[in-house]
Chains A and B, each alone.
Chain A
């Protein structure tokens, strides 16, 4: 198996997550018609310095991340997560995925939002499955909200409350308040 390139060094890992952040920033700048000149003006840095950071995001500081995001009306959070890949064989999850999951979850601002989730547990929910890297199912996370994803899609955010998950047989997983079928070829491992 190819070792993910972000395992080579902290600098590589830092570059990857910073590049994902810069991509999000550039998308927003484009949608709001903000060019680098305007960004420089908003932040109070020279255009040259802005350009330098955008070209080589690996050295961006947390302070500048906050400055950049706030200058164009965005917020930023640092998210630590366990995606059942302690060896980092798959690399970090793209920050845009966290953003999409958060948006699809109704953009919760606090933990009270999850209390509301448990009260509406009869809503259809979606089972996110981990990638089948080793041919087995080794993680299942689920959410009471979100966009339906096909089986095998990377599941990264577990925002649901604890709901029992059990395997009835190789092709079906029964989850409290719902039943989700998994294609047989994906359901080869223990759950």
Chain B
């Protein structure tokens, strides 16, 4: 037993002794029978309270005084360690602080969240810097971001550190190191370093050691944060009718066996419960008592390292999206001997979207529920009801492809192709046999050569106003638009200058046709709204102008990337997004990688030798003495205020 331990035990005895003295003095009276006890009043409250308050206050004061005396006596032994940076010859240095703000930093370390410990360490390191030092701050939550570019304005750094907030993102340590290195490598200071304040749990415990082979020395300053913990999360909770399907995932080698999935309403009333089985990833079904559409949450009972990921909002299951195809099946079936060629082509792409043939474009947009895209092969115009339904479909982020042919050019009176085309389409003979491969862009470029000769005798011609509105993706050899696209409302419209019938051209028989369909379906998928996505991954809103978002922590800033609004959900939970006046709800779910709290290894040179250290003894005796004086003064005030007792003469006074 060391001297310090003995000393600590002695102090503990000193602290405990008055307590026991107090308890002995206040020992309970022995119980005795007394028939008319109900006629006896308990001691008047004011008498008991006064005695209790006075005793406890004095007792607390005495205990504090003893503790302070003990600390004062032990001051030579007390060392308040803190992080500090070593200077080479007293020169200024350039430092990049990599602060991990990922979800794993929400776990506790030594009684406080790891993120707060990291923030405190950043402040300690900043305290050891001085004028001329350049400091940059990089956040390691995925994607890695620059919180503050390198600056010698230390107050700005301090403000940046104070303004950091924890998030539930995944971890991108490699990206953060690259960013940090690039921020300090070009600075004039000779002494450059990157300080990592992270638990190193980035989901790659078998990855290369951190800090290996970098141009700038890396110091992992908080090795105590690297603690393996058990963490499980609700990664998905979907509802269909009375059933709520909840997916629970845990870290490697861990399971949530013994815990329950509880479905609760907004008032925390339990609506259903199911036990979680063994396994790292388990799906649990909970039955609800009613099909009430009120919002509910799925919660994992019990506790683990990170509480925030134990709960998730339940969203209504939408199922797989579909593509509606409007083709004159009579003509096409004769030509192919089976399903229309375009349907067969879509099937061959093995999309994660269902293909739904419909006989005609519906009159009501409700009939397009679940459809993400609509492909119309040579439609003979649209009635007013169909046009209204199509406009609504575009407003719902729908994507439409029109293959123009003779029927489109000879639409009956009153039937037009608005809102895609504002003018009539012409179907006329052409001497141009195919497309210009050089004009192809995007996905169409690879197989554009296959559409160089389409064998078409006729082609659809757009009015100059319509042609100008479309962005050409592929042109005819004479420069006219063969494939073009334009934004309509919040959706997108594609036009193809040929129908997909093999009688009209060879387009449907060429590899370029598959490339065309793949490019279009990718656009369809991109525009489809997924209600749940991984936290930290941006939601983009191409087309709309006015977007605002509110998340679990309040308003979320909306940034613009190339004019397209984007929202990055920083924490888990339900987000309410208003897009051009329409309200959407989206859910940010945890990244399964972040449940792996195993730390990544660190290179030997990242231990901090020559870069930084944990040192500095702090003499707190002055503060302790002042505190002791204040405590004695307070005790005197208590005694004077009591006005009844003389100065204490021993433990009995307590």
Say whether A associates with B.
no
| Chain B residues at the A interface, C-beta cutoff of 8 Å | none
